[in-house]
Amino acid sequence: MYIVKKRVLSCFLALLLLSLLAAGAFAAPNRVLDGAMLMTEEEVAALRAKADSISASSGLDVVILTVDTTGGEDPQAFADDYYDESGYRDDGIVFLWPAEERELTISTKGRAIDIFTDYGIDGILDAVTPYFLNEDYAGGFGVYLDMAADYIEQAENGEPYDTYVPDPGQIDPIVNPPVPVRKPARFSFFWLVVSLLLGFLLGGVPLAKHKKAVQNVALKTNASDYTRPESFELSRANDVFLYQNVTRVPRASSSDSSSGGGSGRSGGGGVSRGGSTTHVSSSGSVHGGGSRKI
């Protein structure tokens, strides 16, 4: 009997260990990674606790990442790929700070694209920039997490943080001010007479004086009519060539053409989705986001 109990206990412990290993294997990845070592362990732990809390309540992964450098890669593409390749959920946001490139970068994916609009991302970057300029990285990331929680709450209430767009069926007093209704003017004979008299006094009298002053002017047909007799004598006359202007226009060639393109790990930029502009990462995932060099 003792041997049976011992075996049962051993099996139970083995199953418990396997469960813990499985839970560890499927646990969410680290949501705050200070690869550039810009913050203390206490600051990282506090940010991780807040990021995990927001992520658990919203169903989005809210991530922070610092690195020394992106190695020449565009920070936006780097942030996109980091999120795609780190095992996060299909819905989430990552805030990247590459210390060498000094470019605040946000990448969004899935539902986060609609929650964090272009306008909202600009708001986050505006708010955290002073902290990063003062090298208060923990303070800046803390503001980011607080604003992320606010944006998520607003989106859950059906009002994502974005510029105000009035309902097309609703008259907006600022965008479409009401047109004032004017009463039709009534004809007045008195004001007609007054207008005619004023017109005669202001226009007719000066015109009559001017006409009287120029009555003695006669038409002159020769240049000599405008000179005094014997006041001008032409001793020599010749033509002098000064310069010429020649304009040459090249003929169009059938081989003339222009082309453009770009390179990088992210492409397909400029696609509008609600209040967000999206692009495609190197893995083929759709991302939103934005960046600012400081």
- pLDDT tens digits, the chain, 294 residues: what are they? 545 444 544 444 444 444 444 444 345 579 999 999 999 999 999 999 999 999 999 999 999 999 999 999 999 999 999 999 999 999 999 999 999 999 999 999 999 999 999 999 999 999 999 999 999 999 999 999 999 999 999 999 988 898 755 555 555 554 555 666 666 666 677 877 888 888 777 777 777 777 776 666 666 677 666 677 777 676 777 776 666 666 676 665 544 433 333 334 445 455 666 688 999 999 899 999 999 999
Which burial class, exposed, middle or buried, applies to 136 when counting CB atoms under 10 A from its CB (0-12, 13-18, 19+)? middle
What three-state secondary structure class fits 158? coil
Tell me the C-alpha distance between 235 and 69, whole Å: 85
Q: Which string of DSSP letters, residue by residue, matches 65-119?
A: EEES--TTS-HHHHHHHHHHHTT--SSEEEEEEETTTTEEEEEEETHHHHHS-HH
Domain annotation covers residue 208: no
Judged by phi (left if over 0) then psi (alpha if -120 to 50, else beta), residue 74 lies in: beta
Q: What is the distance in angstroms between the CA of the first residue and the CA of the last residue of the chain?
A: 73
Q: Is residue 194 part of a domain?
A: no
* Domain assignment present for 61: yes
- pTM summary value: 0.59
Say if 93 falls within a structural domain: yes
Nearest alpha-carbon partner for 286 in 269, 261, 263:
269
Radius of gyration for the chain, computed over Cα atoms and rounded to the nearest angstrom? 39
- Domain count within the chain: 1
Q: The domain spanning residue 118 has which CATH number?
A: 3.10.310.50
Domain of residue 114, residue span: 28-164+275-293
In-domain check, residue 261:
no
- Under a CB-based contact definition with an 8 Å cutoff, are residues 277 and 291 in contact? no
Whether 14 is covered by a domain: the verdict is no
Given a contact cutoff of 8 angstroms between Cβ atoms, the answer to whether 41 and 24 are in contact is: no
- Could you tell me if residue 236 is inside a domain? no
C-alpha span between 292 and 151 (Å, rounded)? 20
Domain-embedded: residue 196:
no
Which DSSP letter does residue 30 get?
Answer: P
